[in-house]
Amino acid sequence: MSVLNAPVTVSTIVVAVDVGKTSLMVSVTDSAHRQLMGPVEFAMTRSGLDAATQRLLAVTSSCAQVRVGIEAAGHYHRPVADFHWPPGWEVRELNPAHVAEQRRVMGRRRLKTDGIDLEAIAELMLAGRGRVIGERDVLIGEMAAWAQHRSRRVATRTATKNQLLGQLDRAFPGLTLALPDVLGTKIGRLVAAEFTDPARLSGLGVNRLIRFAAARDVQLRRPVAERLIAAAKDALPTRDAVVARRVLAADMALLTNLDTTIAEAETELARLLPSSPFRTLTTVPGWGVVRVSNYAAALGDPNRWPGSRQIYRASGLSPMQYESAHKRRDGSISREGSVALRRALIDLGIGLWLTEPTAKTYAHGLKDRGKRGGVIACALAHRANRIAHALVRDHAVYDPARWS
């Protein structure tokens, strides 16, 4: 995360805030690094923050420049960041990794207490570090919420499908021989919902099955219908088929609900994306609303980042490097950064790999040189990272000639 450096005057007073789940610790430090108040604990409530503000106003001078530094703590710090602080006070958000590094600089890497964290926050704020919270964070935060909501539902849907296939094998053995991708086709979903009893399906017959599917807007070709009827007639009876059908019916209802929820999330992302700074990324071949929204959710406000190198390094895809006494030893990818950002960049790279002609040629060249799939994926992620950063920075659409 990049930071905004701003001069600290002699009248600057820093309010360091360390947020917990139900309470927060506050301290006040002046530009001479003298502690004027705290650490003092307040409740994470409206009345608690009002009481904290009154204490702070009593300590800070009316003519002083007051900066409030809040360490990001998942979602716990957001109510504090959105609190209506006194007019003229500047609220900044600090990266937890920077706070941890500041503790190490202070010689307290192994010590983590609220008081030490407040000292580290105050030192960073006096050095002009931190990111000013702006209105753009609201839009990007909404996109991040929907993108994460969709990702969780997709993961649940994948697990539910695996469960469904297990129950389907118990209720209707041999169905996957006739339909290899049962849950990935409309007719497969229809059979899983209506005909988990092979005897009922075999008694229906080919012609009636085709008409049954057509009445439900499912196109069924005769060869497929014949395979399904043959599989139903040849299915082996199982002892636990009855209970498997009951579980299967419940899982099918859950799967339908998950599909609806995922579609709603994608609709919201499609609504929000045109108003975001990431809107031009959909002009890149292979980058749709979902891929771009996942990248936006992982990246956050693009103004935080001075360049694409910092973004790539934050994803953890940069290789480790050690050099001492003119001897250099490089290692594998560190993977110490943001998991969400790493996955988003790799997904953007895969989108290029599958659809963009120049990226395809580049990937084939790497493969011909004997590079493994993981290396190629990282190389495409690096390319995608540079393209995405440039398009967002310049508010430009994708130009194939520029990236050939």
CATH architecture for segment(s) 142-270: Orthogonal Bundle (1.10)
- In this prediction, residue 2 carries a pLDDT of 42
What is the percentage of the chain residues whose pLDDT exceeds 90?
48
Asked whether the beta carbons of 364 and 382 are under 8 A apart, the reply is no
- Residue 123 CA to residue 107 CA, distance in Å, equals 13
**Residue 147: burial class (beta carbons within 10 Å; 0-12, 13-18, 19+):** buried
Q: Mean pLDDT for the chain? A: 87
**Could you tell me which residues are beta bridge partners of residue 71?**
94
Residue 154 has pLDDT above 50, yes or no: yes
Where do the structural domains in the chain lie, given as residue ranges?
12-133, 142-270, 279-394
> Which H helix or E strand runs over 68?
strand 65-71
Residue pair 29/17 in contact (Cβ under 8 Å)? The answer is no
User: According to the model, what pLDDT value does residue 33 have?
Assistant: 87
Once rounded to an integer, what is the mean pLDDT over residues 229-246? 89
Local confidence band at 69 (pLDDT 50, 70, 90 cut-offs): very high
Mean pLDDT over 288-304 rounds to 92
Angle at 82 between CA 81 and CA 84, to 5 degrees: 110
d(CA 96, CA 50): 25
Task: Name the range with the highest mean pLDDT among 34-48, 121-135, 252-266.
Answer: 252-266
Architecture of domain 12-133: 2-Layer Sandwich (3.30)
Buried b (16+ CB within 10 A) or exposed e, 161-197: beebbebbebbbbebeebbeebbeeebbbbbbeebbb
- What would the pLDDT profile of 49-58 be if each residue is shown by its tens digit? 999 999 998 8
Q: Does 204 have pLDDT greater than 60? A: yes
Residue 214, both tokens: 């057509």
Q: Which of 31, 33, 73, 79 is nearest to 52 (CA)?
A: 79
Long-range contact set of residues 287-293: C-beta below 8 Å, sequence gap at least 24? 287/348, 287/351, 287/352, 288/351, 290/147, 290/150, 290/266, 291/344, 291/347, 291/348, 291/351, 293/143, 293/146, 293/147, 293/269
Bridge partners, residue 338, by sequence: none
Which pTM value belongs to this model? 0.76
Rounded CA-CA distance 228/220 in Å is 11
Q: What is the pLDDT of residue 78?
A: 84
* Beta-bridge mates of residue 93: 70, 131
Report the chain's terminal Cα–Cα distance, integer Å: 30
Stretch 13-20: mean pLDDT:
91
> Cβ(316)–Cβ(337) under 8 Å?
yes
Res. 381 pLDDT band, cuts 50 70 90: very high
Q: Which pLDDT belongs to residue 6?
A: 54
Is 186 within 8 Å of 218 (Cβ atoms)? yes
Q: DSSP readout, 238-262?
A: -TTHHHHHHHHHHHHHHHHHHHHHH
What pLDDT band is residue 59 in, cutting at 50, 70 and 90?
confident
